[in-house]
Structure 1
Amino acid sequence: MERITSTPFGRRQVTADHLAAQALLKAPIPDAVPDKWTIIKELTAARLAFQVTDRDLAVLHALVSFHPHDSLADGEGTIVFPSNAALSERAHGMAESTLRRHLAALVRAQLIIRHDSPNGKRYAARGVDGGFERVFGFDLRPLLVRLPEIAQAAHEARAAALRLKRLREAVVLRVRDAVKLIEFAQDEIQEDWGSILGKLKLIQQCLRRKNDVDALNALNVDADHILNNVNSLIVANKTKEMDANDAINERHIQYSNLKHSDSEPSLEKEEATAPALADPAVRVKPKLPLYLVLKACPDVLDYMPDGISSWEELVHSADFIRPMLGISDDAWLRARNAMGDEQAAITLVAILQKASEIRSPGGYLRALTSKAEDGAFSPGPMIMALISTENKREV
């Protein structure tokens, strides 16, 4: 197909950009060319890099639809020549003045090139063999020439969008953790929780806006600082409460000090001293939310591939895991009797999470059970300490 002109019709002037765009008509195209709709999809993802809007792309979509083949590389050429009326119809009735504005934007972005006829009309002239000899309209060849550029920009845009999504998720999760922990602690710890909740509410309000990476990074830093502060307040308060009790003058047993005699008394002795299992109906339910326990003790999920979605499942998981830690039936029964099923399960999965640091998990559980029988133990501080460690690891 012959191209015999490179200048625009009417009052439009030749510019450096116009000449640069004309060079695309002679540039090579890639060997592998996807179908035309894949190109449009990639360009949609990369539109900011090419400074075009969704409305510009809607007009381009309508233009491409006039090419009769799936691939722009097929057929007799890459020029389409719809009338304004036909193009408006495929652009869902867009006004002709609006069409012209979006076509001009596509030309400026060098995604299409005008190939103007002597009178400025769009049409095709056939030769004696019946094929197109000359065609005047919009040339789509730049879409083929710029395929590598479009694909790279689309990849970068999707990667940036994913980073933005992950960063926003991190802020949302930190805010959620902080709010839940405050709900857990505000009845027991005297602190200016209202002020802290006010800061969290401000972060939540900011998340309703469309934030860029810098704004989300700032929100993430603020949320992380608040969450660490809440964790520190809870752990410090629990430590103070336990230090005040002479019977439990340290928050937890130092693992290295556990003696062999602490590990597993005989079954006969345990059966003689252990009280009957308490009525589950009168046990105190955990104040900790289940998701927080699982966040602090993710190792338990390695044994439960289907996940844990209820306290009953956590208790079942703990019962399944405890023989692997060397915890006997009677030690587990005594712990459940003293703490209640859910609290005992929380304690056990916390021990599992710190198993590499505990010389005798069975002896450690017995020691904690003795404290629980005196009303001097709750697994809350263990979970808070693990959460604090996990948060530091994430940062």
Structure 2
Amino acid sequence: MQLASSGGRRLRHAALAARKHALEAERTVTRKELSAAARDAGKALDLRPAQRAVLSELVACWGEQEWERLLVWPSNDYLMSRTGLTERAIRRILRQLIDLQLIAPKDSPNGKRYAVKDLAGQVVDAFGFDLTPIYARRGDWAVMLMEQKQLREVQKRAFDEVTICRRAAEEALAALAAHFPEVDRTEFEGELKTLQARTPARSKVTLPADLLEAWQLLRTHAEEAFYNAGNAGLRVRHSDNNNGSPSEPCNKGFPKKAGAVLPTEQPPDHLSPKLILEACPTLGDYDQPVRDLADIVSAGRYLRAALGAHESAWAEAMEDIGTVRAALAVIYTLQLYEDDVARNGGKSRIKNPGGYFRALTRMVKSGKIDLAVELLAMRRRRMS
């Protein structure tokens, strides 16, 4: 059986629930406070523009009367003129606002909306809509907005991590193709394309639950493939028993530790990118111009994968000796390795460049060697 309230309006459960919301005792509400609560409600409930427009006009009708309920009585014609919506749309949106427990109807005997005045002409009551729930539920809006903010932050971090994993996987596969083209990358590249197709745009609110894990797994496998290829397929940790200068790896015929900087050379603290390029031509493998220290750091971060050094080695180097010297250590180690390959007919006595990079970093940290001096000496030998 359909129940109906006065005026022929069908009784709605939400309307009864909204009526239960009340203001605190002797509480007065300004239009500014009510408008702020309405804006928060619109954000918390993700109201559509038309719904927000009608709600805003209802709030604008509040005359700041000192009543127990926040009553307004605009006609549909007035709301139509203010919003540009049709009467049918106005009626539909009012029902929706009631169902959301934002407003509660207060119907007159004839279904009209109007104010009730006393003999002195003062408005003492009204029939129309009760906006009390909007303000009384402001705590609900605050909680909902906080939850939405936390959800957005979680999603942002998840998308950021996906981006990091995607770039790292692409970097590892590009390095694998450049340095070890004989390694089969078909499976990795197929998985990369599949994950790229599955990854939604950042504008989407949710990220599939298993997608981040899949990106992390692809990154790990791609980097491990590159690491193992650079380590001649050996799955063993590098044993660091080399305590000498990095110019003498394994003490087997490499140049002696560099001496002091010559008077005609630049001071070690002011190594220019040009000088580093002259000392380490392998820097040309970085396909971007190297004009300043920022470019040196970018090149070192990029070429780190060419050594087969794990990302943790790069992180350790940055923490121990600083970002710039970590990049210089990568470039210097790669140049030593390539020089040794050139001198020994395609073979190098540095079997694990990634492990050698770790050893070099620790020697720089302990003060056993000075990278700037070593680079200047390498340049001097190359220029002579």
Aligned to 2:184: 192
**Separation (CA, whole Å) in 1 of partners of 2:110 and 2:185:** 75
- Choose which of 55, 58, 76 in structure 1 pairs with 2:53: 58
Q: Deviations over 1:26-79 (max 9, x none)?
A: 77698999723322332233216xxx555433321232222246xxx8789621
Change (3 A) 1:218 1:337: closer
Aligned to 1:258: 243
Identity over aligned pairs, percent: 20
The TM-score, its normalising length taken from structure 2, stands at: 0.64
For 2:301, give the aligned amino acid: V
Aligned to 1:172: 163
- Choose which of 312, 322, 325 in structure 2 pairs with 1:318: 325
For 2:98, give the aligned amino acid: V
**Separation (CA, whole Å) in 2 of partners of 1:155 and 1:353:** 48
**Separation (CA, whole Å) in 2 of partners of 1:373 and 1:29:** 87
- Correspondence 1:376-395 to 2 at 5 A: none
- Choose which of 91, 116, 124 in structure 1 pairs with 2:107: 116
- Give the conservation status (yes or no) of the 8 Å contact 1:335–1:369: no
For 1:198, give the aligned amino acid: G
* Pair 1:182-2:182 in alignment: no
Aligned to 2:18: 21
SS at match of 2:179: coil
- Correspondence 1:1-395 to 2 at 5 A: 8-14=5-11, 16-25=13-22, 35-47=33-45, 53-68=48-63, 78-91=70-83, 93-189=84-180, 190-208=182-200, 213=206, 215-240=207-232, 254=240, 257-258=242-243, 267=259, 280=278, 283-284=281-282, 285-287=284-286, 290=298, 293=301, 296-297=314-315, 300=318, 317-318=324-325, 355=362, 359=366, 361-362=368-369
Post-superposition shift, 1:145? 1.3
- Give the conservation status (yes or no) of the 8 Å contact 1:9–1:116: yes
For 1:183, give the aligned amino acid: A
Change (3 A) 1:88 1:115: same
**Separation (CA, whole Å) in 1 of partners of 2:316 and 2:28:** 49
- Give the conservation status (yes or no) of the 8 Å contact 1:258–1:360: no
Post-superposition shift, 1:10? 3.2
**Separation (CA, whole Å) in 2 of partners of 1:14 and 1:267:** 94
Post-superposition shift, 1:181? 2.3
For 1:128, give the aligned amino acid: L
Post-superposition shift, 1:163? 1.0
**Separation (CA, whole Å) in 2 of partners of 1:211 and 1:221:** 18
Post-superposition shift, 1:235? 0.7
Change (3 A) 1:297 1:106: same
Structure 1: gaps (5+ residues): 1-6, 244-249, 305-313, 328-333, 341-346, 376-395
Structure 2: gaps (5+ residues): 250-255, 266-274, 289-297, 303-310, 339-353
Q: Deviations over 1:151-200 (max 9, x none)?
A: 11111111112211221221122112211221222122233334322322
Post-superposition shift, 1:98? 1.3
Change (3 A) 1:360 1:299: closer
**Separation (CA, whole Å) in 2 of partners of 1:15 and 1:335:** 76
**Separation (CA, whole Å) in 1 of partners of 2:121 and 2:359:** 81
- Give the conservation status (yes or no) of the 8 Å contact 1:168–1:216: no
What is the count of residue pairs matched by the alignment? 318
- Give the conservation status (yes or no) of the 8 Å contact 1:178–1:226: yes
The TM-score, its normalising length taken from structure 1, stands at: 0.63
- Give the conservation status (yes or no) of the 8 Å contact 1:298–1:353: no
Change (3 A) 1:76 1:14: closer
**Separation (CA, whole Å) in 2 of partners of 1:67 and 1:257:** 82
Change (3 A) 1:374 1:100: farther
**Separation (CA, whole Å) in 1 of partners of 2:111 and 2:90:** 16
